[in-house]
Amino acid sequence: MAGTSHGDAMAQASAPGHALPGDSGQLLTIAQAADYLCTGQRFVRRLISERRIPYVKLGKHVRLERCALDAFVAAGRVPCR
């Protein structure tokens, strides 16, 4: 069978590092969140420990929603004069 099936395309699109357009509910690892915010992982871990940003616990794993990161950035936005 030539080409890729719809399921293969969805698996590739949902793989880490391959975000779907407008998928703001995507769960990111701490490393991915740090890359998204252009910061270090230590900063993201501090935000989590200080409860300044919501996170999701999946067993022992911590994940961050992209929309939560966007809200954090929006809350820190300083308007121009």
Q: What does the pLDDT read at residue 21?
A: 54
pLDDT at 68 over 90: yes
In b/e form, how buried is each residue of 12-43, taking b as 16+ CB within 10 angstroms?
Answer: eeeeeeebeeeeeebbbebebbbebbeeeeee
DSSP secondary structure letters along 47-80: HHHTT-S--EEETTEEEEEHHHHHHHHHHT----
> What would the pLDDT profile of 13-40 be if each residue is shown by its tens digit?
444 444 555 566 799 999 999 999 999 9
Higher pLDDT, 50 or 3: 50
pLDDT at 12 over 60: no
Q: Are strands 27-28 and 61-65 parallel, antiparallel or unpaired?
A: antiparallel
Q: What does the pLDDT read at residue 9?
A: 42
Does the model's pTM come out above 0.75? no
